[in-house]
Chains A and B, each alone.
Chain A
Amino acid sequence: MSAVIEVRDVSVRFATDFGEVEAVDGASFEVREGEILGLVGESGSGKSVTATAILRLIRRPGRLTGGSIVLGGRDLARLGEDELQKVRGTEITMVSQTPRTALNPLITVGEQVARLFVLHAGLSKADARKRAIEMLAMVGIPEPERRARQYAHQFSGGMCQRVMIAMALATSPRLLIADEPTTGLDVSTAARILDLLRDLGHRTGASILLITHDLGVVATTCHRVAVMHAGQMVEVAPVRALFAHPAHPYTRALVRSIPRIDCEVAMEPIPGAVPSLLNIAPGCRYAGRCPWVEERCRQIKPGMTEIAPDHLVACYAVEDGRARVV
């Protein structure tokens, strides 16, 4: 399958009061036609920053320091602001982590969907309104005509997220980025939102980059998964392979930490904490937490190696066979 978007060696740095921080360190992955790619990692591992970088919305004190983001033959990392504005909201759209506050409180929900049709598809106001109501119906909002005239504060969190999804799919994008779209929703609402995303992604042909810190969500929703640790991409694999044969020491720890109903063994927490990114050594950022660490791990960052078809890992111990993948 061909890639919709190819992210290569993307790095993002932030200037902080204590010095420069490289929040994303040379991340590479691609999202393929029609798939849902999960992007997982603990909180603070740089998932949201990566998503923001793809949209080229990193702002001061941050900046994109390197890499390419190729979408339909163009490198977004090299596009000007005017052209980027045409890509955002049409070819790439975003569903955020904060559905309740991501809608403008002063504009009716229907108008917020409709204006995208006016802006991006050149529809008349009346046609845009009609399409907006259709979209609201499609994402499962009951009485869409009436609800379209209401404001965000009259919607529940789950309903707000449905509106966000309607907005994100309104323009038939090639890539939809969903950054922890179920944060703050109760379990059953969260499950329904994920179902909706999967279903609509399939129906509209949009590829989805699904950001989450929950491997359970990955298991039920994604085709492939990319694992991030402290700003570095450590493993990219099909979901089945990742759960059956996790290779990177961090992924192994992550998989072991999933609570399981079918197993008596208690889940193991991941040893150590996400390292501070200030003054961090140039090599593998898992070194401080890794049982297989050796000197070169701290010096030079390991490259991605394909250990099985479509299964990429960045780890010396796996490369050498010291940490055998079981």
Chain B
Amino acid sequence: MAFLAYFLRRLSLVIPTLVGVTIITFTLTYVLPGNPAVVKAGPLVSPEMVKELEKQMGLDQPFWVQYGRYVSGVLHGDLGESASTGRPVLKDFKQRLPATLELTLASLLIALVLGIPLGVQSAVHRDTAIDHIGRIVGVAGVAMPTFWTGLLALYVFFYLLGVAPPPLGRIGPGIEPPHAITGLYVVDSLLTGNWKALGSALHQLMLPSLTLGLSVMAPIARMVRSTMLEILESDYVKAAWAAGIPRRRVIYGDALANAMIPVITILGIVFGFLMAGNAVVESVFAWPGIGNYAITSLMTKDSGPIQSFVLFVALLYVIVNFIIDILYGLIDPRIRLE
């Protein structure tokens, strides 16, 4: 019951956030270069025709009217059209979303699987070699821009060593993608037992997800380290030592479970980094996702897809943070039961 109240309270906070997000994305049309009417009509029309088109598109209406129309469009799934492809943006998005999700989730998994143990070990072996190496790797991961690490990884693993495939999308040339269930190639090929597709999809995913994953591993490892340091000094961890609970269980059970609470908080921020990094990494590896699409649109000053990309990322961000709030409640009885 208390949890339901918590859930509803969190949910009610989502709505004002969404209103703010749509105002910002809508305002983007004003900020972005290029008059939508001009982009739509093409360069060879007279000013009168542009005026006419502006009227048709409602661009002469007051701000709030235009905003209202925009929101109602969004609510009906109308994200406008891409001026350059002429296709509805939503359609392009739907097609490209699985690629982005697959890359993002794989990167997040890599960041967590490497970052959490690294953080724990850095805390347990504070000020020893492990801790120092962890710190260096972390700083390097944050300091080096992903387009650079991506290119470097390609140069070394594809060009020099030849262990990575050429950066040409999600699956090797001539290999049939798995039957679509979730749209994630790795998951679908696992579900359908398509080992050939699985191998190829993983191979293609390797470098981009490592590039993106390593770039966000550092904040996770640092956060785990600092909370673990605090929690290893807590009374209940000391009590667990004194009660003869085995070392591994104290560290990875009692302590890490408690450390996950603040770590989950920064997962929201990490997710933001991932979405921003996505656009860059997708371009470097020719990954057919929405980040790549947004960058291409940015090059051609196609405001529709950019606006929708920002809206989409913001929406995802809100959803992820909502899920994080709920996770909190599930993990921490102090929140769930208050």
Contacts and interface: CB of A to CB of B under 8 A. Distances in A.
Q: Do A and B bind each other?
A: yes
Interface of A: 55, 57, 81, 85-90, 93-94, 96, 98, 101-107, 115-116, 119-120, 151, 153-154, 164, 167
Q: In this complex, which of A88, A104, A167 has the most chain B Cβ atoms within 10 angstroms of its Cβ?
A: A104
Interface stretch (B70-78, B244-252, B317-325): B244-252
Interface in B212-244: 234-236, 238-244
B333 A153 contact: yes
A55 B244 CA distance: 10
A67 to B, nearest CB: 20
27 contacts: A55-B241, A55-B242, A57-B241, A85-B247, A87-B244, A89-B242, A89-B245, A94-B239, A96-B235, A96-B242, A98-B235, A101-B236, A102-B238, A105-B236, A105-B333, A106-B258, A106-B331, A106-B332, A106-B333, A107-B254, A115-B245, A119-B244, A119-B245, A151-B333, A153-B337, A164-B239, A167-B243
B9 interface: no
B257 to A, nearest CB: 5
Instruction: List 6 A-B pairs, minimum CB-CB distance, nearest first.
Output: A89-B244, A88-B244, A89-B243, A101-B235, A94-B242, A102-B239
Nearest to A99: B235
B241 to A, nearest CB: 6
A127 to B, nearest CB: 19
Interface string B246-282: 1100000010011000000000000000000000000
Contacts of A81: 247
A81 B247 CA distance: 10
A155 to B, nearest CB: 12
Given A105-B333, A106-B333, A120-B244, A96 B258 contact: no
A21 to B, nearest CB: 19
Contacts of B333: 105-106, 151, 153
B243 A116 contact: yes
Contacts of A102: 235-236, 238-239
How many B residues touch the partner, as a band?
20 to 34
A85 B244 contact: yes
A151 B334 contact: yes
Interface in B167-221: none
Given A101-B236, A102-B235, A57 B242 contact: yes
A121 B332 CA distance: 29
Contact of A104 (B240, B241, B331): B240
Nearest to B243: A89
A164 B238 CA distance: 13
B261 to A, nearest CB: 8
A90 B244 contact: yes
Contacts of B238: 57, 96, 102
A50 B307 CA distance: 66
A103 B243 CA distance: 12
Contacts of B241: 55, 57, 88
Contacts of A167: 243
Interface in B289-304: none
Contacts of B243: 88-89, 93-94, 116, 167
Contacts of B245: 89, 115, 119
Given A85-B244, A104-B254, A106-B333, 18 more contacts: A55-B242, A57-B241, A57-B242, A85-B246, A86-B244, A88-B244, A89-B242, A94-B239, A96-B239, A98-B235, A101-B234, A102-B238, A106-B331, A106-B332, A116-B243, A151-B333, A153-B333, A164-B239
B253 to A, nearest CB: 9
Nearest to A100: B235
A116 B242 CA distance: 12
Contact of B258 (A85, A89, A93, A105): A105
Contacts of B246: 85, 119
A99 to B, nearest CB: 9
B111 to A, nearest CB: 24
Contacts of A55: 241-242
Nearest to B257: A106
A238 B334 CA distance: 46
Nearest to B332: A106
B109 to A, nearest CB: 24
Interface string B305-338: 0000000000000000000000000011110010
Contacts of B257: 106
Contacts of A106: 257-258, 331-333
Nearest to B334: A153
A98 B243 CA distance: 15
A86 B246 CA distance: 9
B258 A88 contact: no
Given A104-B254, A106-B331, A88 B242 contact: yes
Contact of A105 (B240, B244, B332): B332
Q: In this complex, which of B243, B247, B257, B331 has the most chain A Cβ atoms within 10 angstroms of its Cβ?
A: B243
Nearest to B333: A151
Nearest to A86: B244
Nearest to A115: B245
Contacts of B331: 106
Nearest to B232: A59
A7 B337 CA distance: 46
